């Protein structure tokens, strides 16, 4: 039985695989992937997750919309969200944090930073 469940919401298979690779190093963690915002919303509403990595630029439903919907759900308040942005100081990142995201990562993604963010948000030593 996994101690923590993580959802990766990212349309790019390269990024998904990279995030998966980094997060697999955490013990007792179950990782689920979603291809876009809509898929991500379906998964967070039908299953329990402790943390979600959400890309901002995605087809069908973007990351900002997904975050606002997640934060609008009372039973999803406890779930931590880390947004993945392309630009360092973009409005998107600030909007995501204002909408209720807990952390952000900028591209290019580094595995050690992904791990550090996951450990911090999941409170893993």
Per CB under 8 A, residues contacting other proteins are 12-15, 17-18, 21-22, 86-89, 106-112
Shortest approach of other proteins to residue 116 CB, angstroms? 11
Q: Pick the closer one to other proteins by CB: 13 or 72.
A: 13
Q: Pick the closer one to other proteins by CB: 8 or 79.
A: 8
As a whole number of angstroms, the distance between CA 74 and CA 88 comes to 30
Shortest approach of other proteins to residue 19 CB, angstroms? 10
As a whole number of angstroms, the distance between CA 70 and CA 80 comes to 10
- Give bridge partners of residue 82 from the DSSP assignment: 53, 103
Shortest approach of other proteins to residue 53 CB, angstroms? 13
Q: Pick the closer one to other proteins by CB: 68 or 90.
A: 90
As a whole number of angstroms, the distance between CA 14 and CA 71 comes to 27
Q: What is the CA radius of gyration of the chain?
A: 13
> Which residue, chain included where needed, has tokens 């630029």?
57
């Amino acid at each position: 039985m996994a101690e923590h469940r993580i959802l990766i919401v990212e349309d790019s298979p390269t990024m998904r695989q990279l995030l998966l690779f980094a997060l697999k190093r955490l013990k007792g963690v179950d990782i689920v992937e979603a291809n876009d915002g809509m898929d991500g919303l379906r998964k967070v509403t039908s299953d329990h997750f402790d943390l979600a990595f959400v890309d901002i630029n995605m087809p069908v439903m973007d990351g900002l919309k997904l975050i606002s919907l997640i934060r609008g759900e009372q039973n999803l308040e406890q779930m931590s969200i880390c947004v993945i942005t392309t630009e360092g100081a973009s409005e998107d990142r600030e909007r995501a944090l204002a909408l209720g995201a807990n952390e952000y990562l900028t591209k290019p993604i580094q595995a050690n930073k992904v791990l550090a963010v996951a450990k911090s948000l999941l409170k893993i030593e």
